[in-house]
Amino acid sequence: MKKILFQGAGVALITPMNPDFSINWDKLGELVDYQIEHHTDAIIACGTTAESAAMTEQEHMETVRFIYERTKGRVPVIASAGSNDTAAAVRMAKEAKEIGADGLLVVTPYYNKTSQRGLVAHYNKIADATDLPIVLYNVPGRTGLNILPATYKELSKHPNIVAVKEASGNVAQAAEIKHLCGDELQIYSGEDNVIVPILSVGGIGVISVLSHVVPEVVHNICALYLEGKTKESRELFLEYLDLANGLFMDVNPIPVKAAMNLMGFDVGSCRLPLCDTTQANIEALKKMLQGHGLIA
């Protein structure tokens, strides 16, 4: 069986911003420590939720380095190294390896997209360029491209391709991936509102946005399920389902940053073209956070 990077809840960590939209490094360090202290099982650096699409490549890699150094080996650090340019993805994968990252998260090519044959060529080229374990990232709603189960089967043959962050929202597809790939490709839910359904078809965890506001809860949802305490896991999952959905009432990561600001984390706003959410959404988030005892 291939190496398992982590089991449980990995947080797709946001990038806190100063008022001038530069990266707030002090706050980023605080968030890393907070997540680890509250039992997050892994940190995903510079994924979608980190606004990596609005970062320069230099900022991207500086952020990966900062998170890796702040983590100090306490949990695995998985560095995003995806691009719609295969050569750029290879370059970032190699730099992440030099930094010390434990693994890579590699999104499907966006905008230019590709065929399923192109996906196989793209991912194998990246996987051939590094010995780091790779988590494929399938998020059709963002990229306009879905990795089909048969393509997963082909990709799982590469020894460095070990898992997928499946954010298609299609539990039937996740079941088919597990059926075709078995232990050659582990599955992480890419969406918080299907954590338990994904675990039920053989997933081993989640790459989470919800973990920002309730890291211990998301850790426990996964841990309980993986320990065989499925009823307790399901009940906890359903208790926080409103919040999991609420954090996507606007484009991610706008709502989670708003929620964290309401909780006193002072993480700033998103870089344009993402803008602050509406006052109505702020009030809805406030009500949900109050309902869970997260703010007064």
pLDDT digits over 166-199, tens only? 999 999 999 999 999 999 999 999 999 999 999 9
Per DSSP, the three-state class of 43 is strand
SS3 10: strand
Q: What is the pLDDT of residues 3-23, one digit of tens each?
A: 899 999 999 999 999 999 999
* CATH superfamily ID and name for 8-227: Aldolase class I (3.20.20.70)
Catalytic residue among 27, 68, 123, 137: 137
280 pLDDT more than 80? yes
SS3 content of the chain, % helix, strand, coil (to 5): 50, 15, 35
Mode of pairing for the β-strands spanning 186-189 and 161-166 = parallel
Which residue out of 27, 68, 152, 165 is catalytically annotated?
165
Instruction: Dig out the tokens for 45 from the structure.
Output: 């650096």
CB-CB neighbours of 282 under 10 Å? 16
Closest CA to 26 of 271, 267, 269: 267
Q: Which of 230, 260, 208, 228 is nearest to 9 (CA)?
A: 208
Asked whether 150 and 115 are in contact (CB, 8 A), the reply is no
Domain segments of the chain as ranges: 8-227
pLDDT of residue 1: 73
Active site residue 137: yes
Helices 215-226 & 230-239 angle (0-180, nearest 10): 150
pLDDT tens-digit map of 95-151: 999 999 999 999 999 999 999 999 999 999 999 999 999 999 999 999 999 999 999
Q: Is 72 a catalytic residue?
A: no
Numbers of helices and strands, H then E, in the chain: 13, 8
At 55-74, the pLDDT tens digits run 999 999 999 999 999 999 99
